[in-house]
Amino acid sequence: MTEPWIATLIALFAWWFSTGAILAVVKRADAGGRKSHLWAVLLALPVLVLGAGLFVDTLHRTEPFAVFAAFLAALMIWGWIEMAFLCGIVTGPNRALTPEGVSGWERFRRAWWAVAWHELLLFAALLAMGWAAQGAANPFGFVTFAVLFGARISAKLNLFWGVPRINTEFLPQAIAYLPTHFRVGRPNAIYPVTVAMLAVATALLVREIGAADAAHAALGWTLAAAIAGLALIEHLLMVVPLPDQKLWRWMLPEPRDALTQTQTSRPREPAE
């Protein structure tokens, strides 16, 4: 399993399956409203605890299993925080729709307060994992989380400033107001910069694979590079019209009220 192509396939599967599992749980919780969302997050707490335990346990272990476990730990920690966000439990104090015509600093302020607690929790987790991973022989749980964090910030900024394709099909009811902070239109000025940065980051991680002086390090960099490559593809799909939602649609229950999503999910065209 230490072969780069096998490790890459494992990373791809872990990303695909964990994303689908989170979406499936959240969409099923939609049927029961906020109480069901809260219970979904609480019942998933063991995933967070197990992820944190795995992360700490693998910091100074270098066998291949420990590297995979560290990678999985990062996905578990990240996944629980994302579930809490998608369920509307850890979001921000602003849950209101942004009216048409709001722009500039006011629009940014509204968007920030819609996601503030979620972003701060992710940042706190990043800092805690970075502190714990200092001098560790196996820092790849932190490396994986850092790649996910950087890619997520980049994606959210692009959604805010504007890209041609924004998929809101899987948006849970608990955060159905969120797309009113998005902007559909021509790629914004920072879009090519973020794509270039992700491409460079992916290339640097791939270079680390060849430069690694130990098998466990090469494996860890391979897993991180795979996630960075996926983030690059996700950014490209903001402009390339491919039906990426088909990857998970078959896993999810039928929406209870498509009309609600249509009325609340309103990515906006940029002002001319």
The predicted structure's pLDDT at residue 3: 82
Contact call for residues 130 and 156 (beta carbons, < 8 A) = no
* CA gyration radius, the chain: 19
Kindly report the length of the chain: 272
Please give the torsion angle defined by the CA atoms of residues 184, 190, 196 and 202, in that order, rounded to the nearest 10 degrees. Answer: -80
The predicted structure's pLDDT at residue 242: 76
Share of the chain above pLDDT 70, in %: 89
Encode pLDDT of 113-151 as tens digits: 999 999 999 999 999 999 999 999 999 999 999 999 999
Q: Is residue 46 predicted with pLDDT exceeding 90?
A: yes
- Name residues whose C-beta falls within 8 Å of residue 223's C-beta, 6 or more positions apart in sequence: 7, 8, 10, 11, 67, 68, 71, 140, 144
Q: How far apart, in whole angstroms, are the C-alpha atoms of residue 177 and residue 114?
A: 9
Q: How far apart, in whole angstroms, are the C-alpha atoms of residue 118 and residue 91?
A: 5
For the chain, give every domain's residue range.
4-261
The predicted structure's pLDDT at residue 135: 95
Helical (H) or strand (E) element with 122: helix 104-132
199/2: higher pLDDT: 199
Encode pLDDT of 186-245 as tens digits: 999 999 999 999 999 999 999 999 999 999 999 999 999 999 999 999 999 999 887 766
Contact call for residues 91 and 62 (beta carbons, < 8 A) = no
Place of tokens 């900024």: 157
3-class secondary structure per residue, 155-181: HHHHHHHCECCCCCCCCCHHHCCHHHH
Q: Residue 260 in 3-state DSSP?
A: helix
Bridge partners, 268 (sequence order)? 183
Q: Is residue 51 predicted with pLDDT exceeding 90?
A: yes
Mean per-residue pLDDT for 156-161? 96
Encode pLDDT of 57-116 as tens digits: 999 999 999 999 999 999 999 999 999 999 999 999 999 999 888 889 999 999 999 999
Q: How far apart, in whole angstroms, are the C-alpha atoms of residue 157 and residue 166?
A: 13
The predicted structure's pLDDT at residue 215: 93
Q: Which CA distances in Å does 140 have to 1, 19, 59, 64?
A: 16, 20, 8, 12
